[in-house]
Chains A and B, each alone.
Chain A
Amino acid sequence: MSIKTALSTKTDLQDVINDLQEQLKDVEANLIVFFASSIFVPDEIAKRVDAAFPQAVTFGCSTAGEIISGRMLTHSVVAMAFNRQSVKAVKAVVLEDLNHDSHDAFTVLEQHFGSPMEELDPKQYVGIVLTDGLSGKEELIIDRIGDLTNVNFIGGSAGDDLKFDATYVYANGRSYSNAAVLALIEPSDAFTFVKTQSFSRLPQKLVVTKANEATREVLEFNHKPAAEAYAEALGTTVADAPNHFMHNPVGLVFEDEPFVRSPKLIKGDSLFFYCSVVEGMELSLLESTDIIADTKKALETARQELGGISGIINFNCILRTLELGQKGLSDAYGELFNIAPTIGFSTYGEQFIGHINQTATILVFR
């Protein structure tokens, strides 16, 4: 594999482009993945990055912070370049209307790769999905992808530096909102996935007995008002419960693996989440553990599985980034990724098999 990263902390877009071109000048790139702070004008950065690498497919998104080998950043642009020794083939398509079925986008991918999506080998192909992080449509997209193919799609929801105004995805020289980029990649060598979250399961169970899935609202847990039941599980008051959101989210636990659902706010008796919850789901109360130790262990497992790592793309939840910042651990987290060329960003949600929260979904290339 031949994967190289680039970084610019400049604020003038032409300076940023010059930095990326200079740092990647030795790579005959056929794919550029880039993540950019929301300080850059979406249409401009999409167009200029694409023009700077005319032989490459380019895609990316706006962020709530960037990651590169060894560092966590803000207000920067990070990029990863692949050449034909690292990626045999790639196609990026855009779902321009998230209310529309993703099947049409898959038709384009099928035409490009010459095979029905359901027949593609998940060991040979990998997908990346980047979604407008304020659309609230991630579940629909990742769920539909899972219906149509066994190829694993991994990714994150675009951010906007915690402004919560507008987020953008970029592909092939254009920017889009209320949209998602689906990129199908055929790497030249093996790859694997890391899904890591730092929580232990507590014994308290919350069964969703009344919910509005579309608005990510739980009205009742255990046949009680949701806010009251969550506070009761914590042993605190409804008024104090939001102070526990970051350290005590809930999780759908399957064979000891939690799929985290993070509470967003209490409104009336309801509890709103950053991802959807379905009636009948049995959720466990979770308690935060050690992000640094858990991520280090997960990366080491991936390294052992692959026998070496040539590149990493990290979709790291903004809530993890905030927690790391609060604990003074941002540098320690960034240093974990000194093991290989890495880019990533702080997301408004993560995708792997489903849409999840407070997780890092990580694509690892050998």
Chain B
Amino acid sequence: MAGKIKQMIDAIITQRAKDNAMLVGVIKTKLLLKGIDPNKFNAQSVDDPAIIAKLEAVIKELK
């Protein structure tokens, strides 16, 4: 399977940025500093369980 990581990253950005373009960069940077480079994943990226688990933890922490 592929593409789940990109979907999760997009969902986080959409949820937090709420169409505010300025916030998109900030949220991408936050993900980067948590160890997930949002620019490294696309619709063809393999569903790496370790990255997915990391993103699930991020989603749980985000308000």
Contact = CB atoms under 8 A, between A and B. Distances in A.
Contacts, number: 45
A149 B32 contact: no
B21 interface: no
Contacts of B44: none
A117 B63 contact: yes
A152 interface: yes
Name the residue among B26, B32, B33 with the largest chain A CB count within 10 angstroms.
B33
Contacts of B33: 143, 252, 259, 353-354
A282 interface: yes
Interface residues of A, number: 23
B27 to A, nearest CB: 8
A363 to B, nearest CB: 15
A339 B30 CA distance: 32
Name the residue among B22, B23, B28, B32 with the largest chain A CB count within 10 angstroms.
B32
A254 B26 contact: no
Contact of B32 (A118, A148, A252): A252
Interface residues of B, number: 18
A12 interface: no
Contact of B30 (A117, A255, A281, A353): A353
B38 to A, nearest CB: 9
Interface string A251-271: 010110101000000000000
A255 B31 CA distance: 13
Contacts of A353: 26, 29-30, 33
A242 interface: no
Nearest to A280: B35
Interface in B2-52: 16, 20, 22-23, 25-26, 28-30, 32-35, 37, 39
A147 B61 contact: yes
B37 A147 contact: no
Contacts of A252: 32-33
B1 interface: no
A148 B30 contact: no
Contacts of A280: 35
A74 interface: no
A323 B34 CA distance: 29
Contact of A146 (B20, B25, B30, B35): B30
Interface of A: 117-118, 122, 143-144, 146-150, 152, 252, 254-255, 257, 259, 278-282, 353-354
Given A122-B22, A254-B32, A254-B39, 12 more contacts: A118-B63, A147-B61, A149-B63, A150-B16, A150-B20, A252-B32, A252-B33, A255-B25, A255-B39, A278-B35, A353-B33, A354-B30
Interface of B: 16, 20, 22-23, 25-26, 28-30, 32-35, 37, 39, 61-63
